[in-house]
């Protein structure tokens, strides 16, 4: 069993359907993430990217299909159990506790019982990665800039020691210079050994920092392959990189 858990394939989404009540939004979706990769999921607003990440994190049920994480079928596991297995989501829109301090928000990332005893020591790693958060640690999260809030949201998820980090639209609403900083942080986290599945409308950055990319449109995967190859795809260039026909 231990050997299977160390397989190169860390996440497999297998023929998954996802719905909000009677309204289906994802159809027969297949996706793989291998250990040590940054995999990007690009597509227009409303394509189903956030829905998929929520399902992988356990925040939405799958109607059909399987989600296999680290060799185990977690399709029916609740979100807190997936966090215990070191799968973390940085949600779209940050979703910080605005009336709690930066440090209190970070410590909430280590809320699971088995993480609490070492929570304060983990803070040092987060502050090393994001020195600005150390400067702002006593400040209310709701008073931070957009870029600082995104750092805090990422730091909070890293407190759970993720093997797989799900990043949902990390550059949303940020000024261009901050977008560049956020993606630099993503690259640094990946270099430290965290596998990342990144959903982004900013296709240019996503394709640049990832090894593999899936294009999601209207709830389906319409194109997939090595990111370097997809950067040369006529459809990707026209639809997502601003190239003229």
Domain that holds residue 109: 87-161
Last residue of a domain, one of 99, 134, 161: 161
Residues 150 and 123 both lie in one domain: yes
SS3 156: helix
Bridge-based pairing state of the strands 38-42 and 195-200: parallel
Compute the distance between CA of residue 142 and CA of residue 25 in angstroms, rounded to an integer.
Answer: 32
pLDDT score, position 173: 81
Yes or no: say if 147 and 181 are a contact pair by the CB < 8 Å rule: yes
Beta-bridge partners for 214: 41, 224
Question: Same domain for 202 and 233?
Answer: yes
Specify the CATH number for the domain of residue 28. 3.40.50.300
Residue 154 lies in a domain: yes
Angle separating helix axes 176-191 and 146-158, nearest 10 degrees: 10
152 and 137 share one domain: yes
Instruction: Give the helix ranges, DSSP H, for 64-167.
Output: 79-84, 102-108, 113-116, 119-129, 131-135, 146-158
Report how many domains make up the chain: 2
Q: State residue 6's pLDDT score.
A: 66
149 and 122 in a common domain: yes
List Cα–Cα distances, 27 to 15, 214, 235, in angstroms: 8, 14, 21
Profile the chain (245 residues) by mean pLDDT over runs of 10 residues: 64 97 95 97 95 97 97 95 93 89 92 74 90 95 92 93 94 86 92 95 93 97 97 93 64
Same domain for 8 and 64? yes
Q: How many Å apart are CA 11 and CA 28, to the nearest integer?
A: 16
DSSP codes of every residue in 160-209: T--SEEEEE-TTTT--HHHHHHHHHHHHHHHHTT-EEEEEES-HHHHHHH
Q: Does residue 185 belong to any structural domain of this protein? A: no
Question: What per-residue confidence (pLDDT) applies to 245?
Answer: 46
**Statement to judge: residues 5 and 65 lie in one domain:** yes
Residues 12, 49 share a domain: yes
CB–CB of 87/81 below 8 Å? no
**Contact by Cβ (8 Å): 230, 236:** yes
Same domain for 74 and 106: no
The answer to the question of residue 182 being in a domain is no
| Same domain flag for 4 and 21 | yes
- Is residue 102 one of the residues assigned to a domain? yes
Give the DSSP H or E segment for 18: strand 9-20
Burial 122-158 (b: 16+ CB within 10 A, else e): bbeebbebbebbeebbeebbeebeebbbbbbbbbbbb
């Amino acid at each position: 069993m231990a050997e299977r858990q160390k397989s190169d394939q860390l996440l497999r989404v297998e023929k998954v359907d996802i719905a909000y009540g009677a309204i289906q939004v994802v159809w027969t979706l297949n996706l793989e993430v291998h250990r040590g990769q940054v995999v990007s999921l690009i597509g227009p607003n409303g394509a189903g990217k956030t829905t998929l990440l929520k399902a992988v994190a356990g925040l939405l049920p799958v109607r059909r299909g399987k989600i296999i994480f680290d060799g185990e079928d977690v399709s029916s596991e609740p979100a807190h159990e997936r966090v215990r297995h070191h799968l973390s989501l940085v949600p779209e829109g940050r979703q910080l506790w605005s009336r709690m301090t930066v440090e209190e928000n970070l410590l909430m990332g280590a809320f699971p019982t088995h993480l609490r005893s070492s929570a304060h020591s983990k803070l040092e790693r987060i502050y090393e990665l994001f020195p600005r958060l150390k400067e702002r640690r006593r400040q209310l999260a709701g008073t931070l800039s957009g870029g600082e809030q995104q750092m805090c949201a990422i730091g909070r998820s890293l407190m759970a020691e993720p093997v797989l980090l799900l990043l949902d639209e990390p550059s949303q609403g940020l000024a261009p210079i901050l977008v560049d900083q956020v993606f630099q942080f993503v690259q640094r986290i990946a270099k430290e050994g965290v596998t990342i599945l990144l959903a982004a409308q900013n296709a240019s950055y996503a394709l640049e920092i990832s090894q593999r990319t899936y294009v999601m449109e209207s709830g389906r995967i319409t194109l997939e392959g090595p990111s370097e190859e997809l950067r040369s795809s006529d459809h990707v260039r026209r639809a997502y990189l601003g190239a003229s026909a």
